[in-house]
Structure 1
Amino acid sequence: MVEAFTKVSEASRLLLDKGLCPATGSDALGMVARPMKVDRACIFENRTTNLAGRFLTDLRHAWAEPGVVSPLAHPVLRALPLRDYAMAWTDMLEAGMPVNCTSREAPPMMRELLERQGVQSVLLCPIVPAKQWWGFVAFEDCHQARIWRPEEVSLLKSLARAIGASVRHANMRSSLSQVRTNLTSVLRPVVGDT
């Protein structure tokens, strides 16, 4: 378990230094998932569609143990209507609470989805970069109906906080870049007039 906490620190540094992108997302997930003996790990991002404001969550980054089918192979995870599949899970994540469940205990539609993917057990933790719930990170065990221990939940919460910090930093960099662009465009005519 000590190695896993060390790996969360390394993953946090990677995400803050390089940002959250496909390569760093997958690398950070793998760093933490391997010592946890997790088969798959994923990062999902929430969005609302323009069509009647429908809430969806999209698989953005994934890691899978060699020999385990990647979650990226499942198109349904690209625009998952999470509330339809597991309303109680959505409410828990939105309230900042983790979800710790075996596939057998999952809501019916979610149970069917998990079983189709060979998932026996999941642990989900919300990602909240600021005040609004952004998405969640998931650990999946495809070999056993695992009951996640408190230290495993704590570890995934730490990873979720690191991902949230990376998202927050990216948003701040984007905002600063926009401010710089706006200032440059406002000051350019003034400089030219002198």
Structure 2
Amino acid sequence: MTKREKADYIIDELEKLYPETPIPLDHKDPYTLLIAVLLSAQCTDARVNTITPTLFKHADNPFDMIKLTVEEIKEIIRPCGLSPRKSQAIYDLSHILIQEHNGEVPQSFEELEKLPGVGHKTASVVMAQAFSVPSFPVDTHIHRLLTRWGITNGKNVEQTEKDAKKLFPREKWNKLHLQIIFYGREFSPARSPKLEKDYITRTIGTKQALSELV
């Protein structure tokens, strides 16, 4: 298959599997989504969803968040890992949102990526899921699978994002990145992937990918 044929096949198969793509992180508005995405770094969405109800009970907006100390935030979010860094980022970005954005989450990549703890991937998730701006956030599932499927050479996530955006229609980006994540979790986990289960890789995977499956 050519890369274009592979892209079309991926779109068709994932649409069959996941016609609906609920956002994995529980939230109620752009601010709570931003905080949840920040917490999800090196942490599962499921664990984040067990922590955010407690955090948001105390503070679900930047004005209430800065009433907490960094230490108080750190204690609440400790199970998510990297709590010293994440708690400081949450506290600092909440101040910035109040001081520079009237307490609102900015709707641009440039302004989002200026916030502490917010990289391009986090900004892309917020733009896609909070503001419906076409974006293609690349997490480890997407990077791994698009490399395995021969869509990208897998050198880094930046290149994976560029290659994905070239091949997949812009109007598909927001839904497709979630569909790929869902597929990775269900059919092609990073640990002990099974060839008989991962049928997309079995159909279009690279020789290297096929040799890695057991």
Which category of TM-score, normalised to the shorter sequence, fits these structures?
Answer: under 0.3
* Greater per-residue helix proportion: 2
TM-score (norm 1): 0.27
* Greater per-residue strand proportion: 1
TM-score (norm 2): 0.25
